[in-house]
Amino acid sequence: MGTEDNTKKLLAAHGFRNLASAYYNLCPPKLYELAIMHSEGVIADMGPLVVRTGKYTGRTPRDRFIVQEPSSEKQIWWGPVNKPFDSEAFDHLYHRLLAYFEGRGVFVQDCYVGADPSYRLRIRVVTEHAWQSLFAYNMFIRINNKQELEQFVPDFLVIAAPNFQADPEIDHTLSEAFILINLAKKIVIIGGTGYGGEIKKSIFTVMNYMMPQRNVFPMHCSANVGSEGRSAVFFGLSGTGKTSLSADPDRNLIGDDEHGWSDVGIFNFEGGCYAKVINLSEEAEPQIYKCTRMFGTILENVIYDSESRKLDLNDSSITENTRAAYPIYYIDNALLNGTTTHPSDIVMLTCDAFGVLPPIAKLTVEQAVYHFLSGYTAKVAGTEAGIEEPVATFSTCFGAPFMILSPVRYANQLKTRIEKHKPNCWLVNTGWIRGPYGEGERIPIKYTRNMIKAALNGELDKASFRKEPYFGLFIPEYCPGVPPELLTPHRTWRDQSAYEQQVMKLRQLFRKNFEQFSSEVDDSLKTIM
């Protein structure tokens, strides 16, 4: 196992023929050498490998499809997120992709998804580029045992070929890019895009399909655990602070993005981190910043000086979505077995630009399920053309693009686990106070950190709570290290009439969004807002 001939034999079982070369589970230094030899990237100051992903510098949800076939079609949440793709068209495109690889070289990484051996998925990632193979090495769980590799049989195959472009007229895609997930044949094919996140998130989508069938609740969240054993999970959309707030030097990091909650506890799906690094500073994020200066880290679309090769993390001239992919053991306080106990606390993060949600509130079971299904945050004026006032964004389960089953199915799993294990549930607003965006101010991160700390170490277990009248949320009367007046939003507004107008506007948006679930949820959820 590991020789080129053996690797070609492995790939022949998947339909690969006449390969020029085939590399198996190469280590990072060898992948560096081949990436540089093939002009895939450059080595920047301190050692990271900087690559360009081409036209696509982020995920392209419009080009992702689920193959419609009998074994899964009745379970899929069909719609704008999960669009159907004809099975015969998939076969045709798959064979065209295999033909593309004839006479070319490939890179193979065999690895695991899921830190708990009872639930892990064995995946084989076949890539066109050496740097993509390093991406798989960094992001998934590495297999260091030679005997395990010799006996490895993949549960799922992922093939990624950025330079192979689909023909929409022939292949029935929407563009030259495609991400096709075939649950029956257990194959993912990706073409026309070099963005590494497509490899990572296609497998997360697969886990979101497979895990509920094994009574595991898949979560788009970060997770950590304190020295006293109290663990926490953090749900939140981009810009809410999910990565920052879970990266606590006094707690051990379980993972930064994808986890499962089984009957035993929490486990990380991944073996690495994929951090957004635009405007990253050493002062605010010392751990992640350090990783951008390490050999083995892949930096996607980060700008560097051509002479000194020094990085400029503040330059967004290619994209705002600059990324770093690195193994989780690069983080000093990471818990390397990737598992922990049932969470003592569940934190749902939102960035409320309307300025009306409290900085922290304790949730009932029903409220936790409601906010999980809603997945609310807000875009603010100036972030996109045409946005002149806060725009509410709802991404169900805090990760709608990856939820392949009905959101209510995931919500029911969450409810069952909250009722059984009784974690504290919190809604934390990292957005605005004293007014909406443009008038008020963003909640200082030091206060948010103090609130999270007090919640997770049990200090708020002893606090008194009062129910605010607008959203029915329970606000602590006191929180160490936080000015008391900041805990209640309306007390920070000068114009109470303007505050109530914003409240009613946001409540109505919540209600309108929740109508899509009204036929599937209990009456207790319909009256939350």
From the candidates 220, 251, 362, 371, give the one annotated as an active-site residue: 220
Angle at 325 between CA 206 and CA 383, to 5 degrees: 85
Range 55-69 burial, b when 16+ CB lie within 10 A, else e: ebbbbbeebbbbbbb
Separation of alpha carbons 354 and 380, rounded Å: 9
From the candidates 243, 262, 322, 393, give the one annotated as an active-site residue: 243
- Residue 292 annotated as catalytic: no
From the candidates 120, 242, 251, 259, give the one annotated as an active-site residue: 242
Question: CB neighbours of 96 closer than 8 A, spacing ≥ 6?
Answer: 171
Q: How many helices (H) and strands (E) does the chain have?
A: 14, 30
- Residue 415 annotated as catalytic: no
Six-digit token string for 238: 């981009």
- Residue 434 annotated as catalytic: no
From the candidates 8, 53, 59, 173, give the one annotated as an active-site residue: 59
- Residue 220 annotated as catalytic: yes
From the candidates 142, 200, 323, 417, give the one annotated as an active-site residue: 323
Q: Residue 444's closest CA among 359, 379, 358? A: 359
Quick one: which H or E segment has residue 405? none
Question: CB neighbours of 136 closer than 8 A, spacing ≥ 6?
Answer: 109, 111, 125, 127, 158, 199
**DSSP letter (8 states) at residue 434:** S
Range 274-304 burial, b when 16+ CB lie within 10 A, else e: bbebeebeeeebebbbbbbbeebbbbbbbbb
Residue 399: CB atoms within 10 A of its CB come to 24
- Residue 364 annotated as catalytic: no
Q: What are phi and psi of 192, to 5 degrees?
A: 80, -5
Region of 128 (left: φ > 0; alpha: ψ -120 to 50; beta: rest) is: alpha
From the candidates 8, 64, 129, 201, give the one annotated as an active-site residue: 201
What residue type is assigned to position 106 of the chain?
V
- Residue 323 annotated as catalytic: yes
Separation of alpha carbons 329 and 337, rounded Å: 10
From the candidates 238, 281, 416, 527, give the one annotated as an active-site residue: 238
- Residue 59 annotated as catalytic: yes
Contacts 24+ apart (CB under 8 A), 199-203: 199/125, 199/127, 199/132, 199/135, 199/136, 199/139, 199/158, 199/160, 200/135, 200/139, 200/270, 200/274, 201/59, 201/401, 201/402, 202/64, 202/158, 203/113, 203/121, 203/123, 203/140, 203/156, 203/158
Tokens 């886990």, residue located: 207
Enumerate the β-bridge partners of residue 312.
303
- Residue 242 annotated as catalytic: yes
Separation of alpha carbons 230 and 457, rounded Å: 8
Separation of alpha carbons 26 and 439, rounded Å: 54
Max Cα distance, the chain (Å): 74
Catalytic residues: 59, 201, 220, 238, 242-243, 257, 323
